[in-house]
Amino acid sequence: MRPLSYSQIDQYQSCPLKYRFLYIDGLKPLAKGYFSFGTTLHDCAEYFFRVKVPPPPSLENLMEYYRLHWRSEGYESAEAEENYRQLGGKILADFQRIHSADFHMPLAVEHPYTVNLDGVKLTGKIDRVDKLPSGELCIIDYKSNKDLFSAEYVQNNLQLSLYQLAVEQIWFLPVGELCLYHLRSNTAMRCPARSKEVIADARNLVLGVAEKIEKAIFPACENSFCPCDFAHLCPLYRHKYAPPPQLPQAPPVDISHAVEEYVELQSRKGEIEARIDTLKEAIIEYCRANSLGRVFGSEHALSYKEVLWTAYNNKAVRDLLEPLGLWNQVSSLDKTLLEEYLETDACGQELKKRILALKEVISSSPRLYVKQVSKDQDN
């Protein structure tokens, strides 16, 4: 099993298919100006605190470092880059003023770690670790996001949870505080350390993601970042950004026109059900033939999904539950009752896994879902 970082876990949770493109297929995303800007600010914050003895760098030294280490990749224009450069200078001037006033040596800066979680290696690099007056540790992660985070976001941030998990394994010292440092406003958003239960949940999440990656489970999941740099490879967007050629087994149909006619006729379904069914069959066959999850017309898109109908093997479940004295709770093998029982504390994880393994697909039916195509996506 390959090592996992927070960034990889976060990417898998957002879209498993994009995770595969990035970390298994090795595809490179396009450079983005805001990423270059964030990396430059991180580098400067590291330079400021990575001194062997006080004092920290002067404003002049920090600005010179900023100038020499500016990353220029991915900006939309020279004007946009210059605007970011001016903004970064103001941010770092405030950063230097604030932290020079009460400068203290951190315990660690850009500290790399690798910890073993039941055979899964969790790796990463922590921006900064301070030691609090209480002797406990404070973990700090710099963020260059445009907007300030909410308190709830900080309290539920998975990255901080994983950093705490790693730090407590590395140093055997208690973590007392977690902090997301918002660079644009030079605001430290702090919260208490995570409870043991939250750390355990974070650990299980890592193991769950690792298990899915090991099983090569990489579905495309639509999210707020869609379409991404790999839209031409994605079954949800490939038809729009890189229309595949008609395959020999695909029906001879103008798919863009078919999508629009399908939507129009569906509104008058009572009159024209036969035509709708014909179009539906043609579109579904086209999606299957070209391995597409979505096809586009000029104003609409149709998402194609194969809906699976499942049931449990009655005899196998009875043979499993009866010796445990649990069969009477689901004696008629009511699927709803059984799945409600699976979510209770009375059903342990091992038994839950064994029961779910008895779930079988008994039938499937194709479905099409209408999606309005926004004008922004056309540009």
Q: Chain-wide mean pLDDT for the chain?
A: 89
pLDDT tens digits, residue range 184-242?
Answer: 999 999 999 999 999 999 999 999 999 999 999 999 999 999 999 999 999 999 988 87
What is the rounded average pLDDT of the residues 60-80? 98
pLDDT-wise least confident of 200-209, 226-235, 257-266, 340-349: 340-349
Which residue in this structure is represented by tokens 């790399």? Answer: 112
What is the rounded average pLDDT of the residues 306-333? 71
Amino acid identity at 87? L
pLDDT value of position 365: 72
Question: Is the pLDDT assigned to residue 247 strictly greater than 80?
Answer: no
Token digits of residue 81: 């880059």
Residue 379 pLDDT level (bands cut at 50, 70, 90): very low
What is the rounded average pLDDT of the residues 327-337? 64
* Peptide bond between residue 106 and the one before it cis (omega within 30 degrees of 0): no
pLDDT tens digits, residue range 270-310?
Answer: 777 888 888 888 999 998 888 898 999 888 999 988 877 77
Q: 158: closest CA among 121, 206, 111, 113? A: 206
Residue 52 pLDDT level (bands cut at 50, 70, 90): very high
Amino acid identity at 24? I
Quote the DSSP letter at residue 23. I
Highest mean pLDDT of the ranges 13-17, 256-260, 268-272, 344-348: 13-17
Domain boundaries, the chain: 4-101, 108-214, 235-308+366-378, 314-357
Q: 67: closest CA among 35, 32, 103, 43? A: 43
Q: How many CA atoms are closer than 13 Å to the CA of 190, on its beta-carbon side?
A: 11
pLDDT tens digits, residue range 114-158?
Answer: 999 999 999 999 999 999 999 999 999 999 999 999 999 999 999
* Peptide bond between residue 55 and the one before it cis (omega within 30 degrees of 0): yes
Gap between the Cα atoms of 293 and 374, Å rounded: 18
Question: Is the pLDDT assigned to residue 261 strictly greater than 50?
Answer: yes
276 contacts: CB under 8 Å, gap ≥ 6: 262, 265, 266, 269
Residue 248 pLDDT level (bands cut at 50, 70, 90): low
pLDDT-wise least confident of 78-87, 157-166, 257-266, 360-369: 360-369
The CATH architecture annotation of domain 108-214 reads Alpha-Beta Complex (3.90)
Q: 71-84: b or e for each residue (b if 16 or more CB lie within 10 Å)? A: beebbeeeeebeeb
CA torsion sign, 150 to 156 to 162 to 163? positive
Gap between the Cα atoms of 301 and 294, Å rounded: 7
pLDDT value of position 338: 75
pLDDT value of position 358: 66
Angle between helices 269-290 and 255-266 (to 10 degrees): 150
What is the rounded average pLDDT of the residues 18-45? 97
Gap between the Cα atoms of 7 and 158, Å rounded: 10
Cα separations (Å) of 17 from 22, 128, 181, 234?
A: 9, 32, 31, 8
